[in-house]
Amino acid sequence: MDGESLRRSTLALVALTWAFVGCARPNPVFGDSEGGTAGGSSGGESSRGEGSLGTTMTGGMSSATADATETTQTAESGSESDPGARCGDGIAEEDEECDEDDANAWEARCQPDCTLNECGDGYVAPGQPCDDANDVPYDGCDQCVLTSCGNGKTEDDEECDTGPGGDFRCTPFCTHVICGDDDVSPDEECDDGNDDDNDGCSADCALEICGDGVVQDAEACDGDPKSGPQCTADNGELIPLSCSFDCTSFVPVALCCMGEGAPCIVEIPCCGPLVCNDDDICSEL
């Protein structure tokens, strides 16, 4: 036998040997099934079909599904119990810079995310003639002020221009002086950027103080006693009540009591058999 024939015979023998070894290897064991083993069964289903691997996979999937469901339920439950963000309820709290309820808007003093509208955010706020969200000084808007503002000529997007610094008619930003722009002009006592009363600065930008003649939420009275409640003297005469110096209580100017239909006042009792009812009115039992 020549060399080439010997080489081919040797290769064929090696191939047959590997094939025999491969066929003789046992199947991998996946687990026992009822009535059968890994190698076979006596009438039962194969362990590969219904063995522990299938059970483990099914169990794992069920467990994963249960975990995912529980996580979702926990998240939903947490979102219900956790108050979370309260932006838009009109009360500035926690991390909120402001909150003006329905007045929140991107181009308002308070934005929808309850942050203050600031120069450079790209949104024109009250009192800002422009906001180009950059610090380029020669593009027409610089630090939220029109670059033409202050030359005494009303031009471009200016509402007015009375020169550098403005005056009682025109702000330094070349916008008309308006109550509620969060900028106190010479003819305003205050300006808190909103049109609400009972917050220290009225809707017309006047300070809300005791003695201004307007009864605020924290005051019991304020101003002319003739416009307030009256008490009844012994002779039946109606006597106007004065207001204390701090606007927190009424002060009788003579001995008197509150007659029927009059409001209940801590400092002055209801007359005779009258009592203070649930509506804080002096009435009969």
What is the pTM for the complete model shown? 0.39
Q: Which residues of 64-98 are buried (b: 16+ CB within 10 A; e: fewer)?
A: eeeeeeeeeeeeeeeeeeeeeeebbeeeeeeebeb
**Pairing relation of β-strands 275-276 and 145-146?**
unpaired
129 and 139 Cβ atoms separated by less than 8 Å? no
Copy the structure tokens of residue 31: 């687990």
Q: What is the pLDDT of residues 131-175, one digit of tens each?
A: 988 888 778 888 888 888 888 888 878 889 988 878 878 888 888
Mean pLDDT of 29-50: 41
Q: What is the pLDDT of residues 231-243, one digit of tens each?
A: 999 888 988 888 8
Higher pLDDT, 272 or 252: 272
Query: Could you count the other beta carbons within 10 Å of the beta carbon of residue 104?
Result: 19
Please say if the pLDDT value at position 35 is more than 50: no
Of the spans 3-7, 68-72, 75-79, 225-229, which averages the highest pLDDT? Answer: 225-229
**What mean pLDDT value characterizes the chain?**
74
Q: What is the pLDDT of residues 117-141, one digit of tens each?
A: 888 899 988 778 889 888 887 788 8
3-class SS of residue 270: strand
249 and 267 Cβ atoms separated by less than 8 Å? yes
Copy the structure tokens of residue 183: 């900028």
Query: For the residues of 122-181, what is the DSSP string, one character each?
Result: SS--TT-S---SS--TTSSEETTEETTTTSS---TT-S---STT--SSB-TTSSB--TTS
CA-to-CA distance for 125 and 111, rounded, in angstroms?
Answer: 9
